[in-house]
Structure 1
Amino acid sequence: QPPRALATGKEKVNQDTIYIPLTVLLKSRSPCVLKYDFTILMGRTNPMATDFCHFKQSFSLCWSSVVDVLEALEKLLRDFAVPLAKVSGERLVELSHVWENGWLKAPPVTGFLSVLENWEEVLGLVLRPGQRFKGEGGIEAAAIHIQCFWRRYLARTAYLRHCQRKWAVGTIAVSWLMHTQMRHVGKALQARRFRQLENFRSRAQHLAANWKHIQSSKRTIIHIPSLGYSQSRRMNLRRYDILQNIQISRLCDIRGRSFPYNLTAIYIHYCSLYVKKQPLEDTLRTLSCSTNPFPRLFFQTHNMCLSTLLKYSPRTLKRIKHLIQGKQAYIVGGVAHVDDLAVADDLGVPILAPEPAIAQLYSTKSGGRRIFTEAEVDLPPGQGDIYTLNQLHGTLARLMTQNIHVQRWLFKMDSEHGGRGTAYCDTCHLSCYNWALQECHRCGPELQNTEWIQESVLLRYLDEVPEWLARYAQPAKTSCYPNWTCFLKTFLRQGGVVEAYPPSESVTCLTVDLLLEPGGEVTMLSCGDQLQGSCQLEAIGSTVPQTSVQQETLKSICMRVGQACLQRLIVGYVSVDLTTFLNRKTMEQKVWAIDLDLTYSDQLAMTQMLLMMTGGTLNCRTGCLEVPMPIQEKSQKQPPVVNRYAVIGSHLFHSNLSMLYHNVFFMVCKAHGIGFNMKRKQGTVFALYDGSDRCTVGMITVSEDLRGALVTFARNLSVIHQEISPSKMQGETNFKELIKNIEDVLQMTVKNKVCEYGNPGIKSMLIKHSDS
């Protein structure tokens, strides 16, 4: 301890005396040196306490700085109501030096607590929530804290409300600007479409008034095989690009006209990838026609219809304008779309088709039934425009009551074609069906149609039809709709038709293609019996000409349907599907009209190819394919015209065909004798649709009789399948189903011939011919 005079500063220090600072002595003292600790109770130091007095006396030289730290420490302890704090005097002095030198102007709480011996206990008390409000000035501190948080809450709430209003103002402004722009664009688009529609109607009137003159003068036909389906259906179709190119045989429309040099055909080719000229050139080489260049336009797309692509292709439109300049021209499209009007308006040519709105209205299954009803032709018992489940159950129960002998009922979607949107359900699975038959037989045919008899049957049907459909109804093509639930959901969304399947074991379907001329005439262009694949409700081919219905009956039905279409401003190419069967009661042939397509059909395109290859004419009045035969020598007495029969397959698919290039495919066919004999006007012709995929082809076989054409067709399919299908890689194909269907047709033909001639020898001869 330094001398008292040095501590008090009243006397001078002797020069022989050496002063050592207290901090140095504290650091270098031995462990036996006493500690300067004292206690603070309830945040206040007892100035009379012995330990505090000893500490104060020991550090009297730097007491001025120690007092400030001590007062701050006491205030901290009082604020947090610390009951007991043990202070280390040495650490308190060190902290005071740090504070005094300006190294730390405001030590944190942990800095103050570091001078305590029981700092862990005090720290836990200080960090306890709400402890500050228990100490000195706690009420005021709590009030200040509450006011601080409340003011911050009000300020932040006001700020967030301001930001939200600012964002809302910006959003409303942008939305209003976009709404205004969209409204202007919508009005401009609506006005443009209205102008296009008016121009379409004006050109249609001119086309109708000058149709005969146009047919006899120089003209250009622009073929646009566009499939203007809805977006959802386009996205769900497989190989959509190939489907839009199946009608490449439209090019054969230039065959054998009165003035062939006056007719030019422009065909818009659809392809998802850019390929070389091989597909069209191979097709033209197969057709054995001239190699005059045809405009072929390729696009890269994402399942967009051809008219839409052409609409957004100004260079293509400019090229077409150059080709048709100074000529009479019109467009022959596919499935109607609103963009057809835009393309026609840009080119300034009419369209040989009805308005898109009219086409969409009457190209549905329900619209077709309205046309058939107006034409007064026989159609299956049924009902269209069904959109609800209750309507479906009630309509089906009523139809089943009125047509008790129908054993299968069909459900067809309005917007689908072929077997994609068709389901069926058999009445044999209905538990009350046998009871209903017994009731009808018991009452007899006179009372069968009375109201009181049908009411009891109708009530039983209404009770059992919902469960019957849920358990036994199934889609025709499970690849499109795997079960009845998925099918029913789409059926009710699009609307559809309930229709009776012909009550017969032998049912034949046929397709007739009509041209409804703008001048008001109806012309039959093609007719053929359908060939079904795995799905019995989907046609993948046909036999031309048809042999199922008498020509007078067929012509009468077609003329009435054609006139009914013309009354509704439907012009252009129309395809009518009919079904024929034998009535069990009267043993008379019945013909029902089942479908109407307002488009250029695949059968008609393949028929054009058939007529070009044979150089013949399809006489729909007599139902004969008349082919002129070349006379090699004058001495030979050969009839100038003979009849031929053909089998057309437009949707032949085999996944293994993609492994063969077209030239290799032709070599394989040639090795097996598959080809066309131009002298005899019979053989096989292929239509190639795509040069990159190559999985889908078309095939036509021509023979002297129908049986020979069927046998040749089945043999070609069998040979091709065996050549391209190893045992371990059969591939996906519809060849087998079509071959089986042809075999059934041949067996039915044998039975019919045996019944006609009644001669076992003829039967064996026919069977032998079919086996060959």
Structure 2
Amino acid sequence: MSSKRVDMMQAQLASSATVGEQFQILKEQLRDRWQAVERYDTSSDADIIVVPSLSLDQRELLKIEGFHHYEERLLFSLIRLRNPRTRLVYITSQPLHPSVVDYYLQLLPGIPFSHARDRLLLLSTYDSSLKPLSQKILERPRLIERIRQAVRRDRSYLSCYNSTAAEQQLAVELGIPLFALDPDLLQWGTKSGSRQIFAEAGVPHPDGSELVWTAADLATAAAELWERQPYLKRMVVKLNEGFSGEGNALLDLRHLQEYAPGTVTHADRVAALQENFAHLKFESKGETWANFGSRIPELGAIVEAFIEGVVKRSPSVQARILPTGEVEILSTHDQILGGPSGQVYLGCQFPADESYRLRLQELGLRIGKNLAEKGAIERYSVDFVAVHQPDGVGSREWDIQAIEINLRKGGTTHPFMTLRFLTNGRYDLSSGLFYSQQGRAKYYIATDNLQKERYRGLLPNDLMDIIAQNQLHFDTSTETGTVFHLMGCLSEFGKLGLTSIGNSPQQAEDIYSRLVKALDEETRPLSDDDPSASHCMPMSWSRV
């Protein structure tokens, strides 16, 4: 279908249909064309518009240092330009540093730099306000028109970080299908919605509450949970729309045993729990109950049992739902968590441990089919807690509990897609491993949080010098090395993202450790008194 024909259809739709109706019609177009635009071979002829808007609660985003640079996390999409017939539009709030763009384009094997650069259009709103990028674009009709004119709308689609009413409106304004979740289904990616999906799909998950909207109701829900599980030691309080663990808090019951079930009345227990909300242990640095509690009427909250365990891990499964309704498992990871009680996402290892990765795939598929029945499409991930438990006969097994669904791209998306696009390899469901075209199994370590005070002031060009001098770059001939992201965070926050890829778990860890050592050496302070506070990933990634 020609672009002129598409224009005529969109004009007719706009005169008679609501935004939601137009969005649904565009989604039907996506179902017809997605196979062509998603192919990774050279026959694919597509225009891709990437809008890496973090359309999330802005007050919650403020808890993440350098979050406004997280628009760079989807720059792995530039690797799609390895296909000589693909064109790509990438839009950001502020212009990207030229060195960052050049870095990604030089990763493309077999494609002249100039050829890839000619097929890339970089646009910016030149707006550093806290509003999500999608909203900034909607406020600039001339920018929207420039995007419309730059692409062939009969063979293009819109890609985003997460989907809200703003992305829906932008898709309709452009007349281009959005390959993302229908915003009407966002509830299934909240904490309470996740729990409902787990129950419907028969997936094990911690005991917990339904959604509440006041601190008083939260205290009642916590008391009821404690009464169902009298030996519970801790509970997790979660804002319903929190993310990356930053909206979580821990309620320690071990200091409240005088109010335990069987000691006082239900009403006294509720009152004591509500009073102790002021002493919650927050995952986000600087968070207070005054602020956290004020968000409950706005975002809602749940409380659920905290899963204890001496040997405990946080694996996840990533998948996507195609426009046809088919569920495709993409990967599994063991997540690396930090924060006061280990609930904040820092990084990941691929793949997840072999003792449970196939089980993760099975549970992820079950959840995906439930979501597909509700009309969801595109990417989703499920986070779990895995505890090593005795099985009663002298050996041990893993107890796996699902804790939340993310209906968006996340911290494990860009590392895996970077690997996939760079190697053009395949994920093997039978083993849970990823193989390059040469048949080599690939492993990686990734983080958004290699952060040290001593890294502050490094410009993107400085990082390129360090990469070159220490030979830290990704080698396309061996398909090993490190790929960097979040380079815009480096100068102001001393923060960097990266994916270290190897042909074994040990090689990936060695590559990561060598990188950190080189950065530390290159930024060694003049004096022996280094005041830097490190938030970097641990030097040893070996699984517990």
* TM-score bracket relative to the smaller structure: 0.7 to 0.9
Give 1:238 shift.
4.6
Give SS of 2:53's match.
coil
Tell me if structure 2 keeps the 8 A contact 1:425–1:474.
Answer: yes
Which protein is richer in strand relative to its size?
2
Cα pair distance change 1:389/1:548, threshold 3 Å: farther
Are the equivalent residues in 2 in contact too, given 1:423–1:473 (CA < 8 A)? yes
User: Is 2:482 aligned against 1:684?
Assistant: yes
Per-residue Cα deviation, 1:408-464 (whole angstroms, up to 9, x for no partner): 21111012101221110223222248xx6xxxxxxxxxxxxxxxxx76687498267
Q: Is the 8 A contact 1:225 1:333 kept in 2?
A: yes
How far off its partner does 1:516 sit? 0.8
Deviation at 1:219, TM superposition (A): 2.5
1:287–1:545 Cα change, 3 Å: farther
Contact 2:215 2:274 (8 Å CA) reproduced: no
1:466 aligns with: 273
> Where does residue 283 of structure 1 map in the other structure?
104
1:661 aligns with 2:459: yes
2:503 is matched with 704
- Deviation at residue 235 of structure 1 after TM alignment: 6.4
Query: CA shift at 1:234, angstroms?
Result: 5.6
Structure 1 residue 246: Cα displacement: 2.1
Correspondences of 1:514-525 after superposition (within 5 Å): 514-525=319-330
Distance 1:206 1:508 in 2: 41
Contact 2:220 2:270 in 1 (8 A): no
SS in 2 for 1:383: coil
For the residues of structure 1 that align with 2:466 and 2:378, how far apart are their CA atoms? 40
Q: Does 1:644 align with 2:467?
A: no
TM-score for both structures, normalised by structure 2:
0.85
1:218 aligns with 2:51: no
Specify the code of the residue in structure 2 equivalent to 1:696: K
Residues 97-246 of structure 1 correspond to what in structure 2 (within 5 A)? 195-212=18-35, 215=38, 218-230=45-57, 232-233=59-60, 238-246=65-73
Q: 1:665 to 1:213 in 2, by over 3 A?
A: closer
For residue 555 of structure 1, what is the aligned residue in structure 2? 361
- 1:400 is aligned, of 223, 226, 235, to 226
Match of 1:317 in 2: 144
Which SS does the other structure have where 2:440 is aligned?
Answer: strand
Q: Give the deviation of 1:594 after TM superposition.
A: 0.9
Match of 1:319, as an amino acid?
Answer: R
Matched, 1:746 2:542: yes
| Structure with bigger gyration radius | 1
Contact 1:429/1:472 (<8 A) preserved: no
| Residue 573 (1) aligns with residue 379 (2) | yes
Question: CA–CA distance in 2 between the matches of 1:193 and 1:734?
Answer: 54
**AA partner of residue 714 (structure 1):** S
Q: Which amino acid aligns with 1:604?
A: T
Q: Aligned in 2, Cα 1:552/1:457: closer, same or farther, shift over 3 Å?
A: farther
TM-score between both structures, scaled by the size of structure 1: 0.61
Aligned pair count?
Answer: 514
Match of 2:289 among 465, 474, 484: 484
State the one-letter code of the partner of 1:343.
L
How far did 1:574 drift?
Answer: 1.2
- Which runs of no fewer than 5 residues in structure 2 stay unpaired? 1-13
Q: Distance in 2 between matches of 1:660 and 1:316?
A: 32
Q: Does 1:528 align with 2:333?
A: yes
Given that residues 581 and 589 in structure 1 are in contact (C-alpha distance below 8 angstroms), is that contact kept between their aligned partners in structure 2? Answer: yes
Contact 1:330 1:349 in 2 (8 A): yes
Q: 1:290 to 1:464 in 2, by over 3 A?
A: farther
Gap change, CA 1:747 and 1:574, over 3 Å in 2: closer
Aligned to 1:268: 91
Give deviations 1:74-101, integer Å, cap 9, x for gaps.
Answer: xxxxxxxxxxxxxxxxxxxxxxxxxxxx
Q: Quickly say closer, same or farther: Cα 1:339–1:492, change in 2 above 3 A.
A: closer
Residue 709 (structure 1) shift:
1.9
What per-residue deviation string (whole Å, max 9, x for no partner) do you get for residues 137-157 of structure 1?
xxxxxxxxxxxxxxxxxxxxx
Match of residue 434 from structure 2:
625
Residue 602 in structure 1 maps to residue 401 in structure 2: no
Contact 2:215 2:296 in 1 (8 A): no
The residue identity in structure 2 corresponding to 1:346 is E
Query: Does 2:535 match 1:734?
Result: yes
RMSD, aligned CA: 3.1
Identity of aligned residues (%): 21
Query: How many angstroms does 1:342 deviate by?
Result: 2.6
User: What is residue 520 of structure 2 aligned with on the other side?
Assistant: 721
Q: 1:357-407 CA distances to partner (integer Å, 9 max, x unpaired)?
A: 322x22221122122222221111111312223322222122123224432
Aligned to 1:538: 344
Q: Establish whether residue 300 from structure 1 lines up as the match of residue 126 from structure 2.
A: yes
Q: State the SS of the aligned residue for 2:184.
A: helix
Provide closer, same or farther for how the CA distance between residues 716 and 524 of structure 1 changes in structure 2, counting only shifts above 3 A: same
Unaligned runs of 5+ in 1: 1-190, 437-453, 630-640, 749-772
Q: Which moved more, 1:298-307 or 1:577-586?
A: 577-586
Kindly tell me: are residues 460 and 313 of structure 1, through their superposed partners in 2, closer, same or farther at Cα, counting changes over 3 Å?
closer
Partner of 1:500: 305
In 2, the alpha carbon distance for the partners of 1:664 and 1:655 equals 16
Cα separation, 1, equivalents of 2:270 and 2:106: 63
Larger relative contact order, structure 1 or 2 (CA cutoff 8 Å, min sep 6): 2
